[in-house]
């Protein structure tokens, strides 16, 4: 049995795969602890996984603004001291980190303590933390087709996004009754990732009457602090019942996405992985200010494989027509579902766990230090 510390706080895109890996590793008899930030999104998502021990770490996201940068540096120093104390008190056998502002301190402290380090990058444009920390890692897991020059040839594996066990595809005739919907009703789901998206919320508010008039049921996940929870039953143009939900957070994403005919979503790697897992056709609206434009890269990859439609945020005025054209086009929805099915490579959490176990059993020197590169480059297919 190994003791593994999983650094995954800050956003749902980091926390969800961390939980998925904890589920897999604990199921194999290993001991896992999760390192989370103090943000509300971490607290909310972890409520249903109370069996996993949690460490709350100090830290602030990176910012170029002077005040934000000072807070970031202060958070790095405080979390580094915290990490070093944790490792000295009860040394883990490995550290598995998913990027974000907490990863830097805990990975550097692990490197100084000679603790094996595993990094996971889910986006097709690796983030600053992963690009910097990859040179210290024993293994880096990257999306298929993505390369980082700063790691040795043997230090990388191309594996996908670990999805939580409770997020999986459910047949519509089974899941629709849980929402009070008939098998033939149309359901549009709108969400902006773990933290919501004000632009998508506002778009829906402006176009909700049109959706209802066309008989489209709507389930909107607004994000914590971005709206009040509500449910109402309205009537379409022919007097038929139409259901409308606004919720700040959903604990049942597998059910929600499986029930959907169409999803309007941001293009974070976690959201995309859950869409693929639940075979949910989507219109992706990449966040235009995402770091290194990683959401645009994610969306472009999906679009090239015929697994989504992409609408840039600058074209939100076209989104209403795109939604109404697509949600009633059963042939096109079926094609999108088939292409999503082709992208599902199976249990990525199990594949990563297999590799972690092999590396820990191998006890070979760090391969990531074989290549000392002057910088990092990222290639995309």
Shared domain check, 357 and 313: no
> What global pTM score does this model have?
0.89
Shared domain check, 188 and 120: no
**Per-residue DSSP letters for 292-333?**
GGHHHHHHHHHHHTTS-EE--GGGGGGHHHHHHHHHT-HHHH
| Residue 71 domain boundaries | 3-160+346-366
Shared domain check, 274 and 228: yes
Using left for φ > 0, alpha for ψ between -120 and 50, and beta otherwise, residue 100 falls in: left
Helix (H, G, I), strand (E, B) or coil at 208: helix
> In this structure, is residue 376 part of a structural domain?
no
Shared domain check, 216 and 273: yes
Interatomic CA distance for residues 361 and 240, integer angstroms: 61
Interatomic CA distance for residues 342 and 290, integer angstroms: 27
Shared domain check, 198 and 134: no
Q: What's the CATH code of the domain at 227?
A: 3.40.50.2000
Shared domain check, 356 and 338: no
The low-confidence residues of the chain, meaning pLDDT below 70, are 10-12, 41-42, 59-64, 67-69, 71-72, 150-154, 193-196, 363-381
Q: What is the maximum span of the chain, computed from C-alpha positions, in angstroms?
A: 69
> In this structure, is residue 53 part of a structural domain?
yes
8 Å CB contact between 113 and 86: no
Q: What total number of domains does the chain contain?
A: 2
* pLDDT for 362: 81
User: Where are any strands of DSSP class E within the chain?
Assistant: 3-7, 31-36, 54-56, 94-97, 117-120, 139-142, 147-148, 156-158, 186-191, 216-221, 230-235, 241-247, 262-265, 282-284, 309-310, 378-379
* pLDDT for 8: 87
* pLDDT for 151: 66
Shared domain check, 150 and 9: yes
* pLDDT for 60: 60
Over residues 129-172, the pLDDT tens digits come to 888 899 899 999 999 888 887 665 558 899 999 999 999 999 99
Shared domain check, 361 and 335: no
- Angle CA 361–33–295, to nearest 5: 90
Interatomic CA distance for residues 49 and 39, integer angstroms: 16
């Amino acid at each position: 049995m190994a003791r593994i510390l999983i650094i995954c706080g800050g956003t749902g895109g980091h926390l969800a795969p961390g939980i998925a890996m904890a589920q897999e590793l604990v199921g194999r008899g290993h001991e896992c602890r999760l390192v989370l930030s103090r943000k509300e999104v971490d607290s909310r998502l972890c409520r249903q996984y109370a069996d996993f021990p949690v460490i709350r770490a100090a830290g602030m996201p990176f910012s170029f603004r002077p005040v934000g940068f000072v807070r970031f540096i202060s958070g790095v120093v405080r979390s580094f001291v915290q990490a070093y104390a944790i490792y000295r008190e009860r040394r883990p056998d490995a550290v598995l980190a998913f990027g974000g502002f907490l990863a830097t301190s805990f990975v550097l402290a692990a490197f100084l303590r000679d603790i094996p380090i595993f990094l996971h990058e889910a986006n097709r444009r690796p983030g600053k933390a992963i690009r910097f920390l990859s040179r210290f890692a024993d293994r880096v897991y990257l999306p298929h087709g993505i390369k980082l020059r700063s790691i040795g040839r043997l230090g990388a594996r191309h594996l996908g996004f670990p999805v939580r066990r409770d997020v999986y595809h459910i047949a519509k005739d089974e899941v629709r009754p849980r929402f009070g919907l008939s098998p033939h009703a149309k359901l549009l789901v709108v969400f902006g990732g773990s933290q919501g998206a004000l632009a998508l919320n506002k778009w829906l508010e402006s176009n909700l009457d049109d959706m209802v008039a066309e008989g489209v049921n709507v389930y909107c996940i607004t994000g914590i602090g971005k709206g009040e929870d509500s449910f109402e039953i309205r009537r379409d143009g022919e007097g038929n019942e139409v259901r409308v939900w606004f919720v700040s957070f959903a604990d049942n994403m597998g059910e929600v996405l499986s029930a959907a005919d169409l999803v309007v979503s941001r293009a974070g790697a976690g959201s995309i992985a859950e869409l693929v897992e639940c075979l949910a056709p989507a219109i992706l609206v990449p966040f235009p200010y995402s770091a290194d434009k990683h959401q645009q890269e994610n969306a472009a990859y999906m679009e090239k494989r015929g697994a989504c439609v992409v609408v840039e945020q600058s074209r939100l005025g076209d989104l209403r027509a795109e939604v109404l054209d697509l949600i009633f086009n059963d042939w096109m929805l079926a094609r999108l579902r088939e292409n999503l099915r082709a992208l599902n490579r199976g249990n990525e959490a199990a594949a990563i766990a297999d590799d972690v176990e092999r590396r820990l059993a191998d006890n070979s020197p760090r391969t990531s230090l074989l290549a000392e590169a002057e910088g990092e480059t990222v290639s995309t297919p």
